[in-house]
Chains A and B, each alone.
Chain A
């Protein structure tokens, strides 16, 4: 039995537009998402901002009710059995908020331990254990307001696993953390899984998904556009090639024409100071550099490179295709 099951989840938000005459507007944030996570897996939900990752995770952790569809965690329905689900899962989110700043890390942990039913003699022991696990031992009596972003994240994780949950949900856990801190955090997350827990992670960092996750589901615009192990996802774009062209002053009409060239699967434009970098994915059947450059005739062109696709390219092609 899968530990986490999402079956055709949908979530619609009703908002209003306009200031004077308000019109109701329905926004479908999640449009039919289904996936399953097995015991001991580190599963990643990868997608750009606004794709629906946070909405999905909030439905799974019982903070949001699905508009339709079903979700089960450890066999329990997230809607009907919310309390039972809450007892067995941990929730960690990224960012600076979510802690009582003026109090010590220890006080914060003690409070949440109580809320999660870890009480009595077990509490002291458990708090020490989690502090050790996340590497904050010795700094627990300091006020949280003095903590760096990386330390706060570690404290969040400590808080999330106090009650030793079987499943841990992490929403963008390394956001805003420096590279060294992020690497340590990822190690901690990986340790959770090797310790027997099941972890679901949302992120928009390709590298993170690639290195950490056993399996990834790529989300864009409220739907899953690709699923599989990192290797499998890369296979989707394997055999193809990526051509990077520096241009000065490109506009959308040219990009449109580039996309129309036979053999081109995706075109992304990155701004680099005064120039743009065109990242063109092609199927690799034909040598397409000449037709590409022909379209760019009249524009100033800089460096031209050709390379193998990476997971990032796979992601881009999944996310930008319609």
Chain B
């Protein structure tokens, strides 16, 4: 157990430093901190243009989305990043429990996701007058973590596919586009064509966003139990599939000798 924990934390920290060593504050601040706020502003005003919903509705949707996005990209690039630095085969070759290894990388990613969402909410509060009772902050945080967890799972899947194709950026961007359109971030689910809202049910973030909007309005956590459960389940499912795919591609990569092809 102690070995497992050590791999989980130490592995995570080292990879975090390695991957983020190129991020200086001058890059981090504009892209990851200002980004969510500008996105929220844009869609809130677009909502006003369309006479659709309210500012708060867009604040919650986009803040949760930006957090989840950070998780998705973080995970996707954690796996692809390994390949780029050609440490992937070294990492997979270690006897360390691969689950511990890769989940350890998820930790800094989740932390980053939380920070991203918070700045979105703060921006929304300052610029659009978004308000929520203090009692709702922790429940919102929990929903954020769940959404990020579900997206981390999807990120694992994306990263695993990326291992096979050589195109993590394109797949990650495509996923991001789909999530932005389908999950009720900016378009109410009941206004989407039937097939789209059906697909949305199986995507991460959808339920968490719906729940977050209700909670931000004052609903108690108990009333969103179903959504939380679904989000957790989806995250676990994506994680499992991603993990299995990773194992399978890794074995295939070893067989064909294509693991380190950058």
A/B: CB atoms within 8 Å of each other: no
Binding site for A on B (CB under 8 A): none
Binding site for B on A (CB under 8 A): none
